[in-house]
Amino acid sequence: MAGLYIHVPFCRKKCPYCNFFSVVSQRLRRNFVETLINEASQWAPTWSSLEFETLYLGGGTPSLLTEDEVRPLLENLRKFFKFSAQTEFTLEVNPDDISKERLLLWKSLGVNRLSVGLQSLDEEALRFLERLHSPLEALEKLRLARRQGFSNISVDLIYGIPGLSRTAWLQTLEDVFEFRPQHISAYALTLEDNTIYGIRVNRNLVSAPPDSLAVAHFHLLRHKARSHGYRFYEVSNLCLPGYHSRHNSAYWKGTPYLGLGPSAHSFDGNKRWWNPASIGEWEKMVDKKSIPEAESLTPTMRFNEYLITRLRTQKGIHIPDFKQHFEHEAFVQFFEKVNNLPGGHLTITPEHIRIPVRNFLVSDGIIRRFIIED
């Protein structure tokens, strides 16, 4: 079992909070699909024996790709790799790219899950995020997708936005839950130095909101989600029963994945490698058939990665599985740290250690206490 990720690094405009690798120049799209197909063909011999259970077109904005770009890409991927009959095929889309024609195209190509970059349904918040859609337009597009038969829709939401009142956030949540997407990815707005938003804050052009805003919004989301039948299954992800993202869940389980396209990361179970976050450099690498930068996981890295990925999920660490993976000594040391934590940080049962959902927003700080150094 494996996952396939394709990074499409083109956007209509750069959102100020975004730190994903993407460019607005469409000029660089000329050779993009051709290079992707070339890259896929180079990996085919080593990955063709594995069955891909998930295919994820992310970015960037893959919904920008025209039929002439996306159709040959998929035809070639299906030629090079083996996909299971129930492959989860997710396409990231922006609401402004959704139209009846595009939905029909995506359906005909086998897309069975849409991940929609909604971010908010509040006019002011969308203006702050500089998104290209209005709340009404976004809702209409979601309903159109539903009418065209997309029965597995995920929406992205951002909370903790400066000036977003409790009432406005509540209204966004009510509207989202009324639409009833199968899945929601919800992120607190974070300040990254390399984003336009981060630069504006560092230059005192805008002020960063207090942490208490994101905390209040997170707890509101948590309560509302539960009352509407959604369950947090990872720190930033919640869903209706049975609709967790199989692609992302594979990352958290340590399943191998192959990433194609600039900045894409891959992992084969022992080592990971990553493509350059530059279209020019990536094209050069593929043309020359060079090997991307890579690292083999040391026992310490494996241990840390195991903790980080498992503790991010609602299932947490399964103690018998943990004991099977690591030496007794590592387990004893981990348990000592667990016992030294003040009460309430973790939920401990005979079989599991997990971070309770109410603490998901501070999960990074909790997990950091368990990280070991070489």
Q: Under the rule (CB under 6 A), what is the footprint of ligand SF4? A: 11, 14-15, 18, 20, 22, 59-61, 94, 117
* Residue 303 to residue 324: CA distance in whole angstroms: 12
Length of the chain: 374
Looking at the Cβ atoms of 22 and 172, the one nearer to ligand SF4 is 22
Amino acid at 269: G
Looking at the Cβ atoms of 20 and 273, the one nearer to ligand SF4 is 20
Looking at the Cβ atoms of 33 and 93, the one nearer to ligand SF4 is 93
* Residue 125 to residue 162: CA distance in whole angstroms: 8
Looking at the Cβ atoms of 199 and 330, the one nearer to ligand SF4 is 199
Looking at the Cβ atoms of 7 and 183, the one nearer to ligand SF4 is 7
Looking at the Cβ atoms of 61 and 275, the one nearer to ligand SF4 is 61
In the complex, the smallest distance separating the C-beta of residue 314 from ligand SF4, rounded to whole angstroms, is 26
Q: Give the residue among 208, 246, 253 at the shortest CA–CA distance from 115.
A: 246
CA 23 to chain centre: 19
Looking at the Cβ atoms of 189 and 213, the one nearer to ligand SF4 is 189
Looking at the Cβ atoms of 15 and 353, the one nearer to ligand SF4 is 15
In the complex, the smallest distance separating the C-beta of residue 209 from ligand SF4, rounded to whole angstroms, is 19
In the complex, the smallest distance separating the C-beta of residue 60 from ligand SF4, rounded to whole angstroms, is 5
In the complex, the smallest distance separating the C-beta of residue 309 from ligand SF4, rounded to whole angstroms, is 23
Q: 53, 250 in Cβ contact below 8 A?
A: yes
In the complex, the smallest distance separating the C-beta of residue 225 from ligand SF4, rounded to whole angstroms, is 23
Q: Give the residue among 89, 80, 25, 28 at the shortest CA–CA distance from 57.
A: 89
> Which contiguous run of DSSP H or E holds residue 21?
none
User: With 0-12 CB in 10 A as exposed, 13-18 as middle and 19+ as buried, what is 271?
Assistant: exposed
In the complex, the smallest distance separating the C-beta of residue 19 from ligand SF4, rounded to whole angstroms, is 8
Amino acid at 220: L
Query: Long-range contact list for 268-276, CB < 8 A, 24+ apart?
Result: 270/296, 270/297, 271/295, 271/296, 271/297, 272/297, 275/7
| Upper half-sphere CA count for residue 273 (Cβ side, 13 Å) | 12
Amino acid at 59: G
Q: 272, 297 in Cβ contact below 8 A?
A: yes
Could you tell me whether strands 317-318 and 352-354 are parallel, antiparallel, or unpaired per DSSP bridges?
antiparallel
Q: What angle do CA 68, 26, 153 make, to 5 degrees?
A: 65
Looking at the Cβ atoms of 60 and 276, the one nearer to ligand SF4 is 60
DSSP codes, 213-273: HHHHHHHHHHHHHHHTT-EEEETTEEESTT---HHHHHHHHT--EEEESTT-EEE-SSEEE
Looking at the Cβ atoms of 22 and 152, the one nearer to ligand SF4 is 22
In the complex, the smallest distance separating the C-beta of residue 192 from ligand SF4, rounded to whole angstroms, is 12
In the complex, the smallest distance separating the C-beta of residue 94 from ligand SF4, rounded to whole angstroms, is 6
In the complex, the smallest distance separating the C-beta of residue 70 from ligand SF4, rounded to whole angstroms, is 17
Name residue 23's beta-bridge partners.
10
The two three-digit tokens of residue 326, written as one number: 């690591």
* Residue 229 to residue 238: CA distance in whole angstroms: 10
In the complex, the smallest distance separating the C-beta of residue 59 from ligand SF4, rounded to whole angstroms, is 5
